[in-house]
Amino acid sequence: MSNGNSHLANGTMWTEEKQSNNNAPSNGNTRLGIDDIPEEQTALTNQNEVSRSQCFVSEGDFTDNSDTECGLGPFAPRWLQMFASKQAFLIVFCIAWVLQGMYHTYFVSAITTIEKLFQIQSKITGIIMSATEIGQIGSSLLLTYYGGQGHRPKWIAWGMVLFAVSSFTCSLPHFIYGRQLISANDLTGITKDPNVCKVPTGLDLNPANTHPWGNTTLHEHPTVPNILQTCEENLNTEHRIQPSVTKIVLAIFFISLLGVGMGQTAVYTLGIPYIDDNVASKESPLYFAITIGVRILGPALGFIVGSLCTSVYADLSVDPKIDTTDPSWVGAWWLGLVLISGLLMLASFAMFAFPKRLKSAKPTPRIHQPGRKHPSIRDFPKTVKRLLKNDILMFRTASSVLHILPIAGLYTFLPKYLESQFRLPTPSANMISGVGGILVMGVGIIISGVFILRVKPNARFVAAWIAFTAIIYAVGMGILMFIGCPMDDLAGIEPRDGVGNFNLSCSKSTCECNKYKFSPICGQNGKTYLSPCHAGCRNYTEKEGKIVEYSDCLCVFNKTDNVTNLPDSVLHGNATIGYCDVNCPNFTWYIILFSIFVFIHSTSEVGSMLLILRCVDPRDKAMALGLIQFAIGLFGNVPCPIVYGAVVDSACLVWKMACGEKGACGLYDSNIFRMFYHGTTGAILLCAFFVDVIVWYKAGSINFVDEQVPLEEELTAMTKKALTEPVPIPQ
């Protein structure tokens, strides 16, 4: 498909002169009367061909300057007009895109905390997160159709406002229930319920006597009568309020994420075509690299901000008396949502000020038609039909879905995976997810954009590279399936058909333990136990209201356990709160290999965007992005968190319970988690590879080269620098 002076779109030859871009602007005033031409008349013949002098109009020929003035309503001072430039728009657009990207990964970084606090299963979390895509699906097509032909910066700004309000609404559960839940359960420390070994009533511990269990073991009772009685009598405040609170919180999250989905659609689907319409086609790869590359900073910053916020205790007014390494720690998950909401609201004011189109010294394409027809709902089906007939766009859409689905699923649960597989605290897992994954992706995107700008590859080369990155990523996931850490240090935990077996052979006692009370401790023997009770610990030491050590643990034997004439206090070892340090060397290799595969795959992003924008009619660019966004949301992002949430839950060994109802997962089978998590990702990307091969086969008709080369003075200094510098890596 040609993208120069002739475009083969949907079986019709489209002939048109262009301004600086290889695709003419699609907004109202810069492309006069183009929608008034019936579709069957778009094939121009030699008899009615319009001369170049008739097709172009200079900026001064426009009588209405309001479409090119920068301002807020009547406030449009002369000094403000200096900001009506593509560089200024690029800055504000990138700020908005970064903040939106921050929100998504920040919410991902807070998932573990949210699930723990509100007792939500991962598959339920996945369903709730799909609300974002539902909002996106419901708004993408109509928004891009009307917004793409209207005042695009204003549509983008209103989307930013909706996004900001929805982001703040997501934090409301903390202000409504946060303190109540934190103070109600034992998340502020284990001092309220140390969960030590409790001997069943009437059990004779005299070693000379026998009892129903024969040779004594650390026995567990999954349903202990007094625990159920506690729930029934509402003695435990957490159990009393948890079910109703969880339902209300889920409703708040779902409605808020619907708004987030609708708000984010405008920024991407309208902002990218607006940039493409206002820059020379020679500059497009660089601008796309900057916008997409800078946008990647958003997810990276989201993980980093998430790490910082979850390092702060959820209730800022109390001293938790525990640290972030404690499994019961609850970080300030709500803090970043408030921050992102405020910043995005401020950025929206700047976006409101941009004009409908940017001034340009270059000629503007024009077709002489009386008047300008506004977008009509009657023309909407025609536009959709025109895009659906574009086979390259359809295969490219399928490829985008198959690329996005596994990548989004992988990053949604990456912090949780790192926490489970390598025993990292939540802040560390979030930080590594942002730096080791997202920032590397940003570097790859920028380098690939500059490469396309310098080398000018054809469409088939770009399509082939996209297919190559897909197969490399799929193979990489297969390799990572075998790089993890074993569960050798978990005492008595033997995965059997997805269910944990927690029986321990410990002498001299039988404890009454609840296997749903998950509070891991590390014995001095280097073993991790499900809880102090399961380790047989009968005493504990407090310091400043915080438990610092458990002692007299029947199942933790010290180095003198071969001596039988010593008192129990010497034979039985001690334990501290949290997991034992496994010193797994595979963690470093995992991060290195993961970053390499992410870098390679990220180099396909700019080329993918160019293929989409160059394979459609110029007037359909925004609508094409909207259609792809619709498909990605419906077939990619909606099932993504649900599928990956089910994958994550399938690896759970220990479920936390609240009055008989399943809550969040406390412990995962690291082997099952690792295999299913990476295996699912690799399988989907393998399917993407085969679709990419079809795109490569058909991509020969797409032309990346603009026949109308822009003048030297039309290029920005940024583009000139990228074209001339020997090292094409922007800082």
pLDDT digits (tens, 9 = 90+) for 154-176: 889 999 999 999 999 999 988 88
pLDDT at 87: 85
Locate 375 and state its tokens. 């977008």
**pLDDT at 728 > cutoff 70:** no
CA neighbours closer than 13 Å in the CB half-sphere of residue 437: 25
Q: For tokens 């996931």, what's the residue?
A: 477
pLDDT of residue 697: 93
Q: What's the mean pLDDT in 306-332?
A: 80
Residue 190 contacts by C-beta under 8 Å, 6 or more apart in sequence? 328, 519, 532, 547, 577
The model's pLDDT over 248-265, given as tens digits with 9 standing for 90+, comes to 888 899 999 999 988 888
Q: Is the pLDDT of residue 661 over 80?
A: no
pLDDT at 395 exceeding the cut of 80: yes
What is the pLDDT, as a whole number, of residue 217?
Answer: 38
More confidently predicted of 322 and 381: 381
Average pLDDT on 555-581 reads: 68
CB atoms within 10 A of CB 327: 20
Predicted local confidence at residue 454, as pLDDT: 85
Determine the average pLDDT of the residues in 340-345. Answer: 94
Q: In the predicted model, is pLDDT for residue 342 greater than 90?
A: yes
Adjacency order of strands within the sheet including 537-543: 528-529, 521-523, 572-577, 546-557, 537-543
Q: Report the alpha-carbon distance of residue 338 to residue 342 in Å, rounded.
A: 6
| pLDDT for position 162 | 94
pLDDT > 90 in the chain, percent: 18
pLDDT level of residue 52 (50, 70, 90 thresholds): very low
- The CA distance from 181 to 333, in Å, is 14
Which stretches of 32-172 are assigned E, i.e. beta strand? 56-57
540 pLDDT more than 80: yes
Model pTM? 0.66
On the question of pLDDT at 126 being above 50, the answer is yes
Please write the tens of the pLDDT for every residue from 265-315.
888 788 888 888 877 777 777 787 788 778 778 887 888 898 888 888 888
Q: What is the pLDDT of residues 70-90, one digit of tens each?
A: 777 777 788 888 887 888 888
- Token digits of residue 322: 């525990």
The closest alpha carbon to 553, from 583, 584, 531, belongs to 531
Segment 119-134 shows an average pLDDT of 81
pLDDT digits (tens, 9 = 90+) for 2-11: 343 333 333 3
What pLDDT shows up at residue 337?
Answer: 93
More confident residue, 451 or 374: 451
Per-range mean pLDDT, top range of 189-193, 496-500, 614-618: 614-618
Q: Give the closest residue to 597 by CA, choosing from 482, 382, 444, 424.
A: 444
Residue 504 has a pLDDT of 58
Cβ(516)–Cβ(536) under 8 Å?
Answer: no
The mean pLDDT value for 531-541 works out to 85
Comparing 320-334, 642-656, 710-724, the range with the smallest average pLDDT is 710-724
* Domains parsed from the chain with CATH numbers: 83-184+237-485+584-724 (1.20.1250.20), 186-236+489-577 (no CATH)
Assign 708 a pLDDT band (cuts: 50, 70, 90).
very low
Best mean pLDDT range from 7-21, 106-120, 371-385, 701-715: 106-120
Band (600; pLDDT cuts 50, 70, 90) = very high
Half-sphere exposure in the Cβ direction for 678 (13 Å, CA): 23
pLDDT band at 62 (very low <50, low <70, confident <90, very high): very low
Q: Would you state the pLDDT for residue 50? A: 36
What 3-state DSSP class applies to 299? helix
d(CA 267, CA 96): 8
pLDDT of the residue at 146: 76
Residue with tokens 């206090």: 569
Q: How would residue 186 be classed by pLDDT, with cut points 50, 70 and 90?
A: very low
Q: CB–CB of 685/468 below 8 Å?
A: no
Q: d(Cα 699, Cα 561) in Å, to the nearest integer?
A: 72
Report d(CA 335, CA 539) in Å as an integer: 37
| Cα–Cα distances in angstroms (integers) from residue 680 to residues 647, 675, 676, 687, in the given order | 8, 8, 6, 11
Predicted confidence (pLDDT) per residue in 468-503, tens digit: 999 999 999 999 999 998 887 787 666 544 455 555
- Structure tokens given for 664: 């969040």
Judge whether residue 529 has pLDDT over 80.
Answer: yes
607 in Cβ contact with 462 (< 8 Å): yes
Rounded to an integer, what distance in angstroms lies between the CA atom of residue 192 and that of residue 162?
43
When pLDDT is averaged across residues 133-147 and rounded to a whole number, the result is: 78
> Residue 25 above 70 pLDDT?
no
Highest mean pLDDT among 49-63, 330-344, 561-575: 330-344
Q: Which residues pair with 528 in a beta bridge?
A: 490, 522
Q: Which of 188-192, 515-519, 573-577 has the highest mean pLDDT?
A: 573-577
Confidence (pLDDT) at 620: 82
Residue 724 has pLDDT above 60, yes or no: no
Q: What is the dihedral of CA 343, 347, 348, 350, to 10 degrees?
A: 160
